[in-house]
Amino acid sequence: MKLALALTGLAAFVGLTYGCAEHGDEHDHAHLHKRLYPQTQLTRPTRPLEWGDLNIIHTTDSHGWLLGHQKTSFPEPNYSGDFGDFASFVTHMKEIALLKDVDLLLVDSGDLHDGTGLSDGFPPGGVDAHDSNQFIARLPYDAMAIGNHELYIYANTYDMYTNFVPQLDGRYLSSNVNITVYDKNNSSVSVPVGARYRKFETLKGRRVTALGVLYDFTGNDVNTTVQKVENMVKEQWFAEAIQDEPDFFLLVGHMPVSNDKWPVVFDAVRAVHPYTPIIILGGHTHIRDCNQPDGRSMALESGRYMETVGWLSVDLDKPGSTGNLTFTRRYLDPNRVTYQYHTSTSNGTFDTSQGKAITQGLLNLAEKYDLSYEYGVAPHDFTLSRAPYPSENSSLSLFIQKAAPVALTINNTRANIPNIMITNSGSQRFDIYSGPFTINDQLTASPFTDAFLYIPNVTYGVASQVLPALNGQGAEEKRGLRILDEREKEMYGRGDVEKVYRKWLAEMNEHAAREMRRRVEVNGTLGYVTKDACPGVGDDTYHTPLPYYSTPDFIGSNAPANVSDSDPIDLVFVDFIESQLLGILNTVQTVKNYTTADVFSYTPVLANAVLGLYAEKAWNSTS
């Protein structure tokens, strides 16, 4: 199957006009001669955007989702716009801002790496997101902040430092993140990955002081450093950066706007400037969220995976004013219906030359990476949270109970030794949809290159207690609560946000269900239904809420057959959870104190290859 055809399916070309494709169009879309008319209907936005003196378009946690969401099962078509469409949208919005004589900024809060084949599917010798990031650099971002996924692998950080950051010319911010490099004297020095801060003027002459802050991330690679937020605000450079009063502070960062350390930064600024407007644009936890620290500020977080484009506007007052400001925020579904509605364009007038060039470039990159290579055909949808776990429709069940036992034992000398396999549920990042299962699908569903380790000769009676204990169950529950709390904090510090994201989904589902009972239901496609702490309705488009089922933090394979409690087995797990698992293993038994010396490599197969190997065997009719 040709890649361009695979990745430019129905959702990529959704427009405002609903009808049949023009004659011959179905053969032209690989070359983008014209846009296909849509094959599925999308819900239009509920009302126009509210513009202010200052307006901001916000992205965060894009994780390589630059070709949009291309599957036909909802909610995927809601997010079907690709990065070329987004570029066209930004261009039109900039033109509207000029006509309105107001400011419009474009801001991103980090995590460009790890998530799709465009970022992760590079051939041997390449660097994650090196190629895909070149398309992001084409957009006129006023400020971008570093994310934790820019720091897991030094080569990625170094590539950002040497190739991406220079293109931003001071607009890429890493206030508390350094990289160690060699200087011109061949001495190692620790320097900021980007700029500590940026001071600039908007088109309308408003003075801005911008920072780019990363949360207290602990999973960074060697030769990178992340300074704790509370220490950053004590630095001399920070005091100098905020000394002069701008028209507003722009605090950009890869840190959630709720339940983290933005108050530390906010309070440090407020201590010097009690009434200067402050805008916080956060990220990391993949949710739609908003709050107002005080009457002259707003904090916005705009989702994940190009499933949300954030909008913030405010009418600023004169310097020296102290009254409350009027802010608005909106969560936009990134698709052509949304983009054309808000720019008053049509399917024939929306695309810009830059937008079309970016789309074609992304398609070319995907073809270069062979992302349409098909492992097999998925028989139905498998979802992370819209089906119970365990169940036939759960992608978590698919990965750990079906795929891992097959993929990890291929050409493995320990294949015949009974085992229990364990991973964190956060290792699985996206749903799997029916139809062709490609390299790109494999990398979106399970992008992490975690290695599989094992401890041999653990008795089944002990090994079978590890998974329940990791999830806070069993006889050791009370004793393990402190360890579990520490483990959750450690996992969050290392970047696992799935627990936060799933909790948010559950809360949104419960709120939406209460609202639905209080009113007549209006038909809407499946999608996000958001309740946050800011006034008014945040969602730009009405949706029926996504079904939600809770899932454990850790998942495991089925129990081996015909094994007694005293029989030795292999305890297999991903390296990401090694320290947590060893701690739990030493609480469920006291016969032996297990350490890293007892841990060995189980297979050269990495986590991001498991689903593809399984699909070749189970979903391929030619196998």
Query: Over the stretch 184-221, which tens digit does the pLDDT of each residue have?
Result: 999 999 999 999 999 999 999 999 999 999 999 999 99
Structural domain that includes position 19: 3-368
Mean pLDDT of the residues in the chain: 91
Q: Are both 279 and 356 inside the same structural domain?
A: yes
User: What is the structure's pLDDT at 487?
Assistant: 65
Q: Are both 173 and 313 inside the same structural domain?
A: yes
622: confidence class by pLDDT, cuts 50, 70, 90: low
Tell me if residue 126 falls in helix, strand or coil.
Answer: coil
Between CA 476 and CA 526 the distance in angstroms is: 40
Q: Are both 160 and 294 inside the same structural domain?
A: yes
Q: Are both 451 and 489 inside the same structural domain?
A: yes
User: What is the structure's pLDDT at 498?
Assistant: 85
12: pLDDT strictly greater than 90: no
Q: Is residue 281 part of a domain?
A: yes
Q: Are both 566 and 473 inside the same structural domain?
A: yes
422: pLDDT strictly greater than 70: yes
511: confidence class by pLDDT, cuts 50, 70, 90: confident
CA distances from 601 to 453, 456, 593 (A): 5, 11, 19
Q: What is the dihedral of CA 303, 309, 312, 313, to 10 degrees?
A: -170
Q: How many CB atoms lie within 10 A of CB 184?
A: 6
What are 130-135's contacts with CB under 8 Å, separation 24+?
A: 130/159, 130/163, 131/365, 131/368, 132/64, 132/66, 132/362, 132/365, 133/160, 133/163, 133/164, 135/66, 135/83, 135/358, 135/361, 135/362
Per-residue pLDDT tens for 440-465?
999 999 998 999 999 999 999 999 99
What integer is the mean pLDDT of 88-98?
98
User: What is the structure's pLDDT at 17?
Assistant: 35
Q: What is the dihedral of CA 70, 71, 75, 80, to 10 degrees?
A: 10
User: What is the structure's pLDDT at 32?
Assistant: 36
Q: Are both 483 and 335 inside the same structural domain?
A: no
Q: Are both 384 and 349 inside the same structural domain?
A: no
CA distances from 461 to 379, 428, 467, 559 (A): 36, 28, 12, 11
Q: What is the CATH number for 575?
A: 3.90.780.10
515: pLDDT strictly greater than 80: no
Q: Are both 128 and 235 inside the same structural domain?
A: yes
User: What is the structure's pLDDT at 31?
Assistant: 34
Q: What secondary structure letter does DSSP report for 469? A: H
User: What is the structure's pLDDT at 27?
Assistant: 33
User: What is the structure's pLDDT at 494?
Assistant: 87
CB-CB contact of 309 with 139 (8 Å): no
Q: Is residue 201 part of a domain?
A: yes
User: What is the structure's pLDDT at 522?
Assistant: 58
22: pLDDT strictly greater than 90: no
Q: 470: burial class by Cβ within 10 Å (0-12, 13-18, 19+)?
A: buried
Q: What is the CATH number for 81?
A: 3.60.21.10
Q: Are both 457 and 558 inside the same structural domain?
A: yes
Between CA 83 and CA 68 the distance in angstroms is: 7
Q: Is residue 530 part of a domain?
A: no
Locate the DSSP E strands across 416-466: 419-424, 435-438, 452-459
Tell me if residue 361 falls in helix, strand or coil.
Answer: helix
617: confidence class by pLDDT, cuts 50, 70, 90: very high
Per-residue pLDDT tens for 244-281?
999 999 999 999 999 999 999 999 999 999 999 999 99
User: What is the structure's pLDDT at 496?
Assistant: 86
Between CA 30 and CA 36 the distance in angstroms is: 10
19: pLDDT strictly greater than 70: no
Determine what percent of the chain is predicted with pLDDT higher than 90: 83
Domain count, the chain: 2
Q: Which of 304, 334, 368 is the last residue of a domain?
A: 368
User: What is the structure's pLDDT at 499?
Assistant: 84
482: confidence class by pLDDT, cuts 50, 70, 90: low
Q: Which of 324, 341, 368 is the last residue of a domain?
A: 368
Q: Among 231-245, 329-343, 544-558, where is mean pLDDT lowest?
A: 544-558
Q: Which of 316, 342, 368 is the last residue of a domain?
A: 368
Q: Are both 128 and 240 inside the same structural domain?
A: yes
Taking Cα atoms as reference points, which of 149, 115, 217 lies closest to residue 445?
Answer: 115
Q: Are both 193 and 320 inside the same structural domain?
A: yes
Q: Are both 184 and 228 inside the same structural domain?
A: yes
User: What is the structure's pLDDT at 41?
Assistant: 84
Per-residue pLDDT tens for 225-236?
999 999 999 999
What integer is the mean pLDDT of 24-49?
60
Between CA 35 and CA 24 the distance in angstroms is: 12
Q: Is residue 191 part of a domain?
A: yes
429: pLDDT strictly greater than 80: yes
Q: Is residue 528 part of a domain?
A: no
Please give the model's pTM, rounded to 2 decimal places. Answer: 0.90
Q: Is residue 267 part of a domain?
A: yes
555: pLDDT strictly greater than 90: yes
Q: Is residue 263 part of a domain?
A: yes
Q: Is residue 283 part of a domain?
A: yes
